[in-house]
Amino acid sequence: MSEELSTISLIDRIEADLVNYPDVEFPLEHTFMPGLYKRKIFMKAGTILASMRHKFSHPFFISRGHIEVLRDDGKGGLEIEGIFTAGYEGVTKPGTKRLLRIIEDTEWSTVHANPDNISDPDEMVRLISEKLENPLIDCGDDRFNQWKSSISPSLTYNYTIPELVCA
């Protein structure tokens, strides 16, 4: 095996292999409000997916379901970050990429700072996450870009704070 291939993470290898399984939709809800962006993803039981690599720390919340979260162990394998159920709250650190094994139908939400009040889901995802880089796949292949609003079923909500008028 070449040295280049031996340095590819197990998460990258599994992510590349997922293309061999039937397509799965991961419906998304994008909520924009002044200064904040919230994304909720619905993940069907029995599925596996690789997360994006995030640029910034942010909270996540599991409102429904049961999920196993795996991360790179730094030695060429995986380790369990946690097995989480509805009601769990955590923090994703910058540079984190995870493998998610969905045990029960799960809803997972993240909240991100949005100081420029961006209201386009795709633009927001580019702002908060690293460009997909996996030497084993064509990163332009839409099967590896399920976060795009044109790929996965997406609902977008935009909220504004009404101005208070004094009488």
Report pLDDT digits (tens) over 56-108.
999 999 999 999 999 988 888 899 999 999 999 999 999 888 999 999 999 99
Q: How far are the Cα atoms of 14, 63, 113, 157 from residue 105, in angstroms, in the given order?
A: 21, 11, 27, 23
Can you list the domains of the chain with their CATH numbers? Answer: 3-152 (2.60.120.10)
Contact call for residues 103 and 64 (beta carbons, < 8 A): no
Predicted pLDDT at 25: 86
Q: In the structure, what pLDDT confidence band is assigned to residue 166 with cuts at 50, 70 and 90?
A: confident
Average pLDDT over residues 133-148: 65
Of the candidates 79, 77, 57, the one whose C-alpha atom is nearest the C-alpha of residue 129 is: 57
Strands (E), the chain: 28-33, 35-43, 48-50, 58-72, 78-85, 89-92, 98-114, 154-158
- Report the C-alpha gap between 136 and 13 in whole angstroms: 7
Structure tokens at 50: 């690789």
Report pLDDT digits (tens) over 17-52.
877 888 888 899 999 999 999 999 999 999 998 888
Q: Indicate the average pLDDT of the chain.
A: 85
Alpha helices in 18-76 (DSSP H): none
Report pLDDT digits (tens) over 114-127.
999 999 998 998 89
pTM (2 decimals)? 0.80
pLDDT for residue 156 is more than 90:
no
